[in-house]
Amino acid sequence: MGLLDYDFMQRALLASLMVGLVAPAVGVFLVQRRLSLLGDGLGHVALTGVAVGVLTATSPVWTALVAAILGAVLIELVRARGRTSGDVALAVLFYGGIAGGVVLLSLAPRGQATNLDSYLFGAITTTSPQDVAVFAGISVVVLLSVALLGQRLYAVSDDEEYARAVGLPVLGLNVVLAALVASTVVLSMRVVGLLLISALMILPSAIAQLLARSFRETVLLACLIGVLVSVSGTATSFYTGTPSGGTIVLLAIALFLLVTSAVTLRESTARRRHRRRVDVHDAHPHEHGTACGHPPVPHGDHVDYDHDGHLHAPHHTGRGVHYDEHGGHPVAAPPNR
Amino acid sequence: MSERPPAIRLRGATIGYGDVPIVRDVDLTVGSGEAVAVLGSNGSGKTTLSRGLLGLATVLDGEVQVLGAPVGRLRERGRVGYVPQRHSISGAVPATVREVAGVGRLARLGLFRRLGATDRRAVVDAVAAVGLADRLDDPVAALSGGQQRRVLVARALAAEPELLIMDEPTAGVDAASQEALADTLAAISASGTTLVVVTHESAPLAGVLTRAVVVDHGRIAYDGPLSGAAHHDEHLHHHPPERQPAGYRMDQPTVTSGPRTTADRER
């Protein structure tokens, strides 16, 4: 029996596709701002929202969205006023949110409070067609906002003081980012659960930043990785009968470890290659200079010397002059450079 | 065409943090196109003075006008460029030289407009002006410290500012990079941009800066030609004020979460 033969799995895969795409697109700004745990804090606040929804018999998605956005705006205002540190404000929000949620849910009539688990750890297969519609709406709004304001959000996340000095609306942009995080939290609630939300925002960015060279590349790669782990994790959970949230997060962590070790391996072989090339130079030693006969080649902020077709970059170390191999240039360097 | 207003005008200005004044009752006018060094020992208030001009410190009393408008209410953003005192710019997420410099252009574009062809050209020109044209698409983390500081200068230049405020641009930069920076600043100054450079060593930029303002204990102790400030500055260096704890750079922003003390605010 195929995966796509079930309506609930179709909806589940659709939901995980949206979450996989949206969560990293917002999360990368949190990583840049070194505020990775904001998503967790807002997830806890969303639980209070869920509880209010259950108690008042309104849709928990909407009440969670309202609670998370209120929490997001509150934390930015506290940070901007500067009386309490962002760290402490976040902690208060964390515990207040989850305590409020647990207490309120316990007041609910018997039978309803039992689905606390599905909010904490995700219950993707219970996604209703209405949920899918709401998620699609949230996804479009979040992705549009990031596309429209991405560069400003990057500017504020990268160097808040500079952004303020040149007159970008720092507080406004911070509130917008926090509201985007809150929306993403609510979107991810069903798929990975409130306790694991940050994982899908942070892990794809953490993997992407190991591989990418630019911020733009990082965002696109993070979204790609997010979709990959989210959809494949959901599919895997169908066959293994494990919870979707935990499966997705474990997949993402496995990928993170894999990429980290691949990058480490690449760097160490590059260092070994570097040492071998240094040996090449040591085999016929002299100090490069204007009179050594090797053509000088300006390279960025220093001068390389063309040494039998490979470029030597001298730099001073504690033990004298050391030569780096700055390859990549053809044998004959352009004479006018 | 009417006469351009002075780039900076302070009248009885008191600037500080919270409600603690650091710079007291200062009068200062910097004309359009001038190149001014703001000198002073650590803790003298020179950084606070510059941060007051940028809206990063509070104007507690008096009047601070930048480009003819009260500071903080400047509607035409992007006319002021700022190079903060930072030694590295590599954040958590990789970014290219082009991306970092591009941020400088955003303030001119309002809230939603994207970088157009003119803006992108300005960013490329700004990076070329600091001599990093061949590194445009390299990650900033791959650059040396001196090169990273030049990227910060490019970020400020990308806005094509009328007033450029720099905080210790030569600190921790090797001699070759200092020379490159001096050349860049000379070209910018020649094009009519007003320069305000906060520094504790005016020597590397002596060829560019013509006027010196020496700040001491929150007041202006000297205002005149740069050459005349040498003795004054020297004097301050050898006899730091006694209230300054040894080894503590009062002009460097520090983040502390402990109880606020006077020293905390004297950033």
pLDDT score, position A19: 92
What is the C-alpha to C-alpha distance for residues A22 and A29, in angstroms, rounded to an integer?
12
Whether A14 and chain B come into contact, CB under 8 Å, resolves to no
Q: What is the nearest CA distance from B100 to chain A, expressed in angstroms?
A: 8
B82 and A CB contact within 8 Å:
yes
Residue A96 Ramachandran class (φ > 0 left, ψ -120 to 50 alpha, else beta): alpha
Give the CA-trace dihedral at B71, B72, B73, B78, to 10 degrees.
90
How many Å apart are CA B163 and CA B32, to the nearest integer?
A: 8
- pLDDT class of B66 with cuts at 50, 70, 90: confident
pLDDT band, residue A168 (cuts 50/70/90): confident
Which pLDDT value is given to residue A111? 59
Written as six digits, the tokens of B184 are 């860049």
- Closest alpha carbon to B37 in B223, B231, B178: B223
What is the pLDDT, as a whole number, of residue B88? 66
What is the total count of domains within chain B? 1
Q: Which residues pair with A310 in a beta bridge?
A: A307
Per-residue model confidence (pLDDT) at position B263? 44
**Main-chain dihedrals φ then ψ at residue B206, nearest 5 degrees:** -60, -30
Residue A203: band (very low, low, confident or very high) from pLDDT cuts 50, 70, 90: very high
- A159–B146 CB contact, under 8 Å: no
When pLDDT is averaged across residues B87-109 and rounded to a whole number, the result is 83
> Which whole number is the average pLDDT over A118-146?
87
Q: How do the domains of chain A map onto residue ranges?
A: 3-263, 292-337
In the predicted structure, residue B116 carries a pLDDT above the cut 60? yes
A3-263 is classed CATH 3.40.50.2300:
no
Q: Say if residue B249's pLDDT is above 50.
A: no
pLDDT in tens, A320-332: 555 665 654 444 4
Q: Residue B6: inside a domain, yes or no?
A: no
Residue A278 confidence class, pLDDT cut points 50, 70, 90: low
Query: Is the pLDDT assigned to residue A200 strictly greater than 60?
Result: yes
Residues A187 and A36 sit within 8 Å (Cβ to Cβ): no
Helix (H, G, I), strand (E, B) or coil at A42: helix
CA distance B126 to B160: 8
Is residue B141 helix, strand or coil? Answer: helix
For residue A151, list chain B residues with Cβ-Cβ distance below 8 A: 102-103, 106, 114-115
CB of B104 less than 8 A from some CB of A: yes
The per-residue pLDDT for A336 is: 45
Chain B residues within an 8 Å CB radius of A300: 132, 134-135, 147
Residues 127-166 of B with CB under 8 A from A: 131-132, 134-135, 137-139, 144, 146-147, 155, 159
Q: In which residue are the tokens 């500012």 written? A: B161
Is residue B100 within 8 angstroms of chain A, CB to CB?
yes
Q: How far apart are CA A179 and CA A198, in angstroms?
A: 15
Range of the domain at B104: 33-43+73-234
Average the pLDDT over A275-304 and give the result: 65
The answer to whether residue B170 sits within a structural domain is yes
Q: Does residue B15 lie within any of the structural domains?
A: no
The confidence score (pLDDT) of residue B70 equals: 83
- Residue A295: other Cβ atoms inside 10 A: 13
What pLDDT band is residue B124 in, cutting at 50, 70 and 90? very high
Stretch B98-117: mean pLDDT: 83
Contact across the interface for A31 and B93, Cβ inside 8 Å: yes
**B242 has pLDDT over 50:** no
Among the ranges given (A267-276, B13-22, B139-148), the one the predictor scored with the smallest mean pLDDT: A267-276
- Provide the pLDDT for residue A206: 93
Average model confidence (pLDDT) across chain A = 82
Interface test mutation site (partner B, options A37, A87, A158, A166, max chain B beta carbons within 10 A): A166
DSSP H helical ranges for chain A: 7-32, 38-56, 60-81, 86-106, 116-121, 129-158, 160-165, 170-192, 197-211, 215-240, 244-283
What does each C-alpha distance from A298 to A295, A311, A313, A314 come to in angstroms? 10, 10, 10, 12
Q: In whole angstroms, what is the distance from residue A272 CA to residue A259 CA?
A: 20
pLDDT digit string, tens, across residues B25-49:
889 889 888 899 998 888 888 888 8
pLDDT at A252 over 90: yes
pLDDT band at residue B265 under the 50/70/90 scheme: very low
CATH of the domain at B222: 3.40.50.300
pLDDT in tens, B146-187: 788 889 989 999 988 889 999 888 877 778 778 888 888 898
Cβ-defined contact of A154 to B103 (cutoff 8 Å) = yes
- Domain assignment present for residue B52? The answer is no
Top mean-pLDDT range of A198-207, B34-43, B74-83: A198-207
Cα separation values, A157 from A70, A152, B7, B11, B167, Å: 21, 8, 30, 35, 21
CA nearest to B247, candidates B42, B23, B17: B42
What was the ipTM of the complex prediction?
Answer: 0.79
